[in-house]
Amino acid sequence: MRKLSVIITSFAFALGCADARAASRAVAAVDYENVRLKDLGHIEGVRDNPLVGYGLVVGLAGTGDSARSIPTLQSIANTLSRFGVRITSDQVSSRNVATVMITATLPPFANAGEKLDINVASMGDARSLVGGTLMLAPLKGPDDQIYALAQGPLSVGGYRYDAFGNLVQKNHPTVGQVPGGATLEANVATHIVSPAGTVYVILDSPDYTTASRVAEALSQQFAPLPDPNVVRVTAVDASRIAVRLTDEDRSRLVDVVARIENANVVPDQVARVVVNERTGTVVSGGNVRVGEISVAQGDLKVNIMTDFAASQPFFIGAGSPGVRSIVVPETEIKVDEPDAPSLSMPAGTRVADLVAALNKIKVTPRDIISILQAIKRAGSLHAELVIQ
């Protein structure tokens, strides 16, 4: 059993905690033993597919595209021609219509008749899509084939109203959704078995050690092939593991894939420290170690205060004509150089222990980030440092 310690250091206001010391460090220990293979990767061929379409949203309350949007006028004329209304785009004048792009995600193993959620986004200069209804529009895949038909009233989580220069707006009113607004018109063929009778497992995070362990775990799940010269399970590379199927396996493919997904594997982890300078967050794995180091941290504060005083004669006008009042600056400089806190850590110290020690000497999260960068440059941080 291995333990993964996750160290999260952030600003107090980011965690909503009044105690800065409690907010700057959150340590969680997660026990890692066996992980299901389906949580580490997926079967090759099982994937989503994007769909896209073009359509019109009608029924807007004067918040649609203006007459400057030529595609909208042409689309309205073309749509009306399908219903026997013969007009040109020059004869169209309406702000109750907007051209939109429609997007959806086609899941694997989808069948005809299933409903898909769709997203609708304005293409022209429409001010709002609130209250609009999407007209029937086809959705195509990357192969330019129609897979679904979309239609329905929009759900927009915002609004925009303006009059006489006054404007009230909430969220993003030119983007909406139609839950279940698309109907799938064709079955999606999903092939997971190659012509050679092989199923490939793809790791989400490629790693040679993990791939080797996956191949070993799957080898224990399946009996060897009759031909001793053919290996049943092979780690092709750091991300792909090939599982050869027999004729019997193909006849019960669902059960075989379920056995593959539920195989238990102990994944290997790369020593990595992730730093987000915008939020002051530091995340590291429990297997991240540092060499023997000494850290000194100190601040030099210089405060300059200037007061302006007026200097003038006691008897103004009694002296010569050149006598006048002047402003004299009085400057006070204070230098505060507190004792620099320092600490020394032995070789093999975890980053978790280092961060905890830095918090004890009141080091801020942003200073911790700078210290980690300096330790990495000094060659004592035995991990990859990722700065976001």
Contact status, residue 323 vs residue 364, Cβ threshold 8 Å: no
In the prediction, which pLDDT does 18 show? 36
pLDDT tens for each residue of 76-121: 999 998 888 888 888 888 889 999 999 999 999 889 999 999 999 9
Contact status, residue 216 vs residue 58, Cβ threshold 8 Å: no
For residue 11, the one-letter residue type is F
pLDDT tens for each residue of 323-343: 666 766 766 666 565 665 666
**Residue 270 pLDDT grade (very low, low, confident, very high; cuts 50, 70, 90):** confident
pLDDT at 190 exceeding the cut of 50: yes
The residue among 33, 17, 14 whose CA lies nearest residue 282 is: 14
Q: What is the mean pLDDT of residues 46-71?
A: 91
Higher pLDDT, 268 or 15: 268
Which two structure tokens, joined as six digits, stand for 191? 């092939």
Contact status, residue 365 vs residue 10, Cβ threshold 8 Å: yes
Higher pLDDT, 145 or 315: 145
DSSP state of 38: G
> What angle do helix axes 365-377 and 351-360 make, rounded to 10 degrees?
130
List, in sequence order, every residue forming a beta bridge with 295; answer none if it has no partner: 343
DSSP assignments along 63-124, one per residue = -S--TT-HHHHHHHHHHHHTTT----GGG---SS-EEEEEEEEE-TT--TT-EEEEEEEE-S
Residue 252, Cβ density class (10 Å: 0-12 exposed, 13-18 middle, ≥19 buried): exposed
Higher pLDDT, 346 or 26: 346
DSSP assignments along 112-123, one per residue = TT-EEEEEEEE-
pLDDT at 220 exceeding the cut of 70: yes
Contact status, residue 126 vs residue 63, Cβ threshold 8 Å: yes
Domain range summary for the chain, segments of one domain joined by +: 2-33+271-299+340-387, 38-43+191-265, 49-184
Contact status, residue 122 vs residue 156, Cβ threshold 8 Å: no
φ/ψ (deg, to 5) at 166? -95, 140
What does each C-alpha distance from 38 to 44, 211, 295 come to in angstroms?
12, 13, 43
